């Protein structure tokens, strides 16, 4: 029996981007082991990673093309049938309405540079309508870029050098499990850990101090702390003098953020705010690690700037153990644009009509004119339920004449398709993968052959281009025709960097060229002024917000709405958004959606633990079982995002299609609801 052990990497949209080794016996994956060469993920994969064998060989994996019948059921068809029908529709719509009548949507279901070929195909076709913005993190990216000049942070293991660690709105024990290794090591050396979160999470159980503000008020809390630090002279004057623009203006802007006012806004007692402020001002070095949830409000970008100001005025930038730890894009060396505000490719922008916001997907699709959207193509995403306003998303998909979805499983979006094309797994094609947390570039090797009728997206596009009438000469250098051509293309990408080689990457992860292990250690800040910009003319000009870090309330707040409860839809350790939840190994631990409520809120409404409750607002409703949670503050309902409609989920039936204040992000959490007892 032939046994091979092959290095690879998890390409999911996750901080860790874990390295691991795959054991293959006679062409079938039989096990995994850790890859110790990756200092950031030394203990190997999480539960989701451990479920990959089931995911690859799952009984409900889509293994061949499917066409929806008039009855609504799906019937197996051949690849020639599928490609012929798709190509026929595309040529018809292009001829009658133009290429912008086709909407191409992709998201972050799987990362890697091979995804570039998707836009290469649509460019070849003559264009399409595409989306702009991002569901995940752009408000925070833009806030950080406008303030520091770039999105980078210290390497993960530098956390061991910190003496104060603030996890602000981040539940690392569930969503970034390897980070907890370095936090634990720092604590063993005397570091203090503070968690700031409306919920008492597994991460909070490890903390020295837990602060629980009302959702959406973190910016006010940060500004109150900044005012305290300045008044108590607990700031780094030398660092501010040499490296900060706008400090005096920032100081003058804080007059209204006295402790009593901040306590009233946030719900945090004054004594706790002062204790936290004293720790920030008195313990060096400090690493502040914000989560992504806070910047998913309409005030999200400015919230991140308010938090970042605390690292700036205390001089906790550019030193070992001192870091603003939001996103590290240093390993994305192959990306022409690290995180584009738009989805325009290189070249002729007129090919791509960019008029659909990911935050307003359904609404914008329904409003497209000259031409209307006739066809939708979806890959690497589940937008029906993962984008805000599921009701509008469904209407937009229903309105289109023809829908193609490339998928591994029968997701809510796949159910809306006319044709489903089976997607590859991570083990069935090579790719190069960076990380937004660790400093490595990694080769995701091809480990096994895909099942007989599954084709990688690159091959799908090549075959579809041939069906559309393009010749091999026209496709040369644009779309690889097979795996050999793809790997040659990847090797060419690597040649741009003498520090990298294919042989090195086969052996394991490699530190990206040019990495600053301590971000901004050279005190070079690539802003317009060359300094950290607490006052940013560009941010005011580009986004129409205050040039200083400032706080405004979210659009929906209790007391100014008929709905009194915040709906929080965090991530969970058992899923990456809507992925993995259909697997048996995950269902054993997480059989379906449950709403967590504080018993105080339940008592007011006559709700007992285990009751079925209706969660509703003007936009929609969900009906799920409830569970008491004494550790979350009153006034909140918590349901993790990612549950499919078919399993009783769909939190975005309740969310509004709103963008964040900057970066074209998605304000999922600006969302109030009411609950009532059903049974």
- As a whole number of angstroms, the distance between CA 442 and CA 502 comes to 10
Angle, alpha carbons 219-221-227 (nearest 5°): 105
Query: At 656, is the pLDDT very low, low, confident or very high (cuts 50, 70, 90)?
Result: very high
* CA angle, residues 18, 21, 24, in degrees to nearest 5: 140
Contact, 165 vs 183, CB < 8 A?
A: yes
Collapsing DSSP to helix, strand or coil, 346 comes out as coil
% of the chain surpassing 70 pLDDT: 98
Rounded average pLDDT over 251-280: 98
pLDDT tops 60 at residue 348: no
Higher pLDDT, 43 or 66: 66
Give tens-digit pLDDT for 421-447: 999 999 999 999 999 999 999 999 999
- The stretches of 189-234 forming alpha helices (DSSP H) are 218-231
When the candidates are 3.65.10.10, 3.40.50.980, 3.40.50.740, 3.30.479.30, the CATH number that belongs to 1-132+355-433+440-511 is 3.40.50.740
Among residues 327, 405, 298, the alpha carbon closest in space to that of 156 is found at 327
Query: Is the CB of residue 22 less than 8 Å from the CB of residue 6?
Result: yes
pLDDT at 349 (0 to 100): 56
Domain with CATH 3.40.228.10 in the chain: 138-329+518-543
> Which regions of the chain carry the CATH code 2.40.40.20?
565-677
The predicted-structure confidence for 131-161, as pLDDT tens digits, reads as follows 999 999 999 999 999 999 999 999 999 999 9
Per-residue pLDDT for 544 more than 50? yes
Mean pLDDT within 255-261: 97
Residue 213 DSSP label: P
Q: Tell me yes or no: is domain 138-329+518-543 CATH 3.40.190.10.
A: no
**Helix, strand, or coil here: 62?**
coil
Please report which confidence band the pLDDT of residue 560 belongs to, taking 50, 70 and 90 as the band edges: confident
DSSP state letters, 254-293: TTT--HHHHHHHH---HHHHHHHHHHHHHSSSEEEEE-SS
648 pLDDT more than 80: yes
For the chain, give the mean pLDDT.
95
**R_g of the chain computed on alpha carbons:** 25
The whole-number pLDDT of residue 336 equals 61
Q: How many CB atoms lie within 10 A of CB 431?
A: 24
CB atoms within 10 A of CB 388: 31
Is pLDDT above 50 for 453? Answer: yes
Q: Quick count: other Cβ atoms within 10 Å of Cβ 70? A: 5
Segment 545-562 mean pLDDT: 95
Q: Give the separation between CA 193 and CA 561, rounded to whole angstroms.
A: 36
Residue 11 pLDDT more than 80? yes
Exposure string for 149-179, b = 16+ CB within 10 A, e = fewer = bbbbbbbbbbbbbbbbbbbbbbbbbbbbbbb
Range 626-637 average pLDDT: 97
β-pair partners for 71: none
Whether 201 has a pLDDT exceeding 60, the answer reads yes
- Write the pLDDT tens digit of every residue in 155-189: 999 999 999 999 999 999 999 999 999 999 999 99
Query: pLDDT grade, residue 350 (50/70/90)?
Result: confident
Q: How does residue 109 score in pLDDT terms, banded at 50, 70 and 90?
A: confident
pLDDT > 80? residue 337 = no
The residue ranking higher by pLDDT, 580 or 347, is 580
Per-residue model confidence as pLDDT tens digits over 586-622: 999 999 999 999 999 999 999 999 999 999 999 999 9
Residue 110's alpha-carbon distances to 17, 117, 301, 431, 601, in angstroms, are 11, 14, 26, 11, 39
Residue 80: partners with Cβ closer than 8 Å, 6 or more residues away:
none
Ranges in the chain annotated CATH 3.40.50.740? 1-132+355-433+440-511
Q: Prior bond to 371 cis, omega within 30?
A: yes
Residue 88: pLDDT over 80: yes
DSSP state of 99: G
Segment 300-315 shows an average pLDDT of 98
Report the run of H or E that residue 443 belongs to, with start and end: strand 440-444
Residue 336 burial (CB count, 10 A): 9
Per-residue pLDDT, 341:
41
Q: Which option is the CATH number for 565-677: 2.30.30.100, 2.40.40.20, 3.90.1010.20, 3.40.190.10?
A: 2.40.40.20
Residue 532's beta-bridge partner residues? 244
pLDDT digits (tens, 9 = 90+) for 491-516: 999 999 999 999 999 999 999 999 99
Most distant CA pair in the chain: distance in Å? 74
Give bridge partners of residue 287 from the DSSP assignment.
165, 323
Confidence of residue 469 (pLDDT cuts 50, 70, 90): very high
Please enumerate in sequence order all residues whose Cβ is within 8 A of that of 535, keeping only pairs 6 or more positions apart, or say none. Answer: 245, 246, 249, 250, 547, 548
pLDDT for the residue numbered 229:
98
User: Shortest CA distance to 441 belongs to which of 91, 12, 38?
Assistant: 38
Asked if the model's pLDDT at residue 338 lies above 50, the reply is no
pLDDT at 2: 80
Local structure of residue 512 (DSSP, 8 states): P
């Amino acid at each position: 029996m032939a046994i091979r052990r092959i290095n690879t990497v998890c390409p999911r949209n996750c901080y860790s981007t874990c390295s691991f080794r795959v054991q293959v016996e006679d062409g079938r994956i039989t096990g995994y082991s850790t890859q110790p060469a990756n200092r950031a993920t030394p203990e190997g994969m999480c539960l989701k990673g451990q479920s990959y064998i089931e995911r690859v060989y799952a009984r409900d994996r889509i293994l061949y093309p499917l066409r929806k019948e008039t009855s609504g059921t799906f019937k197996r068809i051949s690849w020639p049938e599928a490609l012929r029908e798709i190509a026929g529709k595309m040529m018809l719509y292009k001829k009658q309405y133009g290429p912008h009548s086709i909407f191409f949507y992709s998201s972050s279901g799987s990362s890697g540079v091979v995804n570039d070929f998707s836009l290469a195909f649509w460019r070849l076709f003559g264009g399409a309508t595409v989306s702009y913005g991002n569901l995940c993190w752009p408000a925070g990216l833009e806030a950080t870029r406008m303030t520091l000049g770039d999105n980078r942070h210290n390497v993960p293991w530098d956390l061991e050098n910190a003496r104060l660690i603030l996890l602000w709105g981040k539940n690392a024990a569930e969503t970034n499990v390897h980070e907890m290794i370095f936090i634990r090591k720092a604590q063993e050396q005397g570091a203090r850990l503070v968690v700031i979160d409306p919920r008492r999470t597994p991460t909070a159980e490890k903390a020295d101090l837990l602060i629980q503000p009302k959702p959406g008020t973190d910016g006010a809390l940060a500004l109150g702390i900044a005012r305290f630090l300045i008044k108590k002279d607990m700031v780094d004057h030398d660092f501010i003098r040499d490296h900060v623009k706008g400090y005096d203006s920032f100081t003058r802007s804080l007059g209204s953020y006295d402790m009593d006012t901040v306590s009233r806004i946030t719900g945090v007692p004054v004594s706790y705010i002062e204790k936290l402020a004293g720790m920030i001002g008195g313990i060096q070095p400090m690493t502040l690690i914000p989560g992504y949830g806070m910047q998913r409000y309409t005030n999200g970008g400015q919230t991140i700037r308010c938090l970042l100001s605390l690292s700036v005025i205390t001089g906790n930038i550019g030193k070992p153990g001192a870091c603003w730890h939001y996103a590290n894009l240093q390993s994305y060396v192959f990306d022409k644009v690290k995180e584009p505000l738009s989805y325009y490719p290189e070249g002729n922008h007129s090919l791509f009509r960019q008029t659909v916001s990911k935050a307003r997907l359904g609404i914008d699709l329904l409003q497209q004119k000259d031409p209307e959207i006739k066809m939708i193509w979806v890959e690497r995403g589940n937008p029906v339920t993962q984008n805000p306003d599921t009701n509008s998303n469904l209407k937009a998909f229903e309105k289109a004449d023809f829908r193609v979805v490339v998928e591994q499983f029968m997701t809510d979006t796949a159910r809306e398709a006319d044709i489903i094309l089976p997607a590859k797994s991570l083990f069935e094609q090579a790719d190069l993968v960076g990380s937004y947390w660790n400093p490595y570039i990694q080769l995701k090797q091809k480990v096994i052959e895909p099942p007989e009728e599954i084709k990688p997206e690159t091959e799908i596009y090549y075959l579809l281009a041939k069906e559309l009438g393009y010749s091999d000469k026209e496709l040369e250098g644009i779309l690889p025709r097979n795996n050999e051509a793809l790997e040659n293309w990847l090797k060419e990408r690597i040649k741009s960097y003498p520090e990298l080689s294919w042989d090195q990457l086969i052996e394991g992860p490699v530190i990206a060229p040019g990495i600053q292990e301590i971000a901004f250690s050279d005190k070079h800040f690539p802003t317009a002024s060359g300094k950290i910009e607490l006052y940013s003319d560009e941010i005011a000009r580009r986004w129409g917000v205050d040039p200083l870090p400032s706080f405004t309330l979210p659009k929906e707040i209790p007391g100014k709405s008929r709905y009194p409860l915040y709906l929080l839809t965090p991530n969970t350790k058992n899923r990456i958004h809507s992925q993995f939840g259909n697997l048996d190994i995950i269902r054993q631990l997480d059989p379906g959606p449950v709403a967590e409520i504080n018993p105080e809120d339940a008592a007011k409404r006559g709700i007992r633990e285990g009751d079925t409750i209706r969660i509703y607002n003007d936009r929609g409703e969900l009906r799920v079982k409830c569970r008491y949670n004494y550790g979350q503050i009153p006034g909140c309902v918590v349901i993790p995002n990612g549950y499919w409609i078919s399993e009783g989920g769909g939190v975005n039936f309740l969310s509004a299609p709103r963008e964040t204040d900057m970066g074209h992000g998605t304000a999922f959490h600006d969302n109030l609801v009411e609950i009532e007892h059903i049974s």
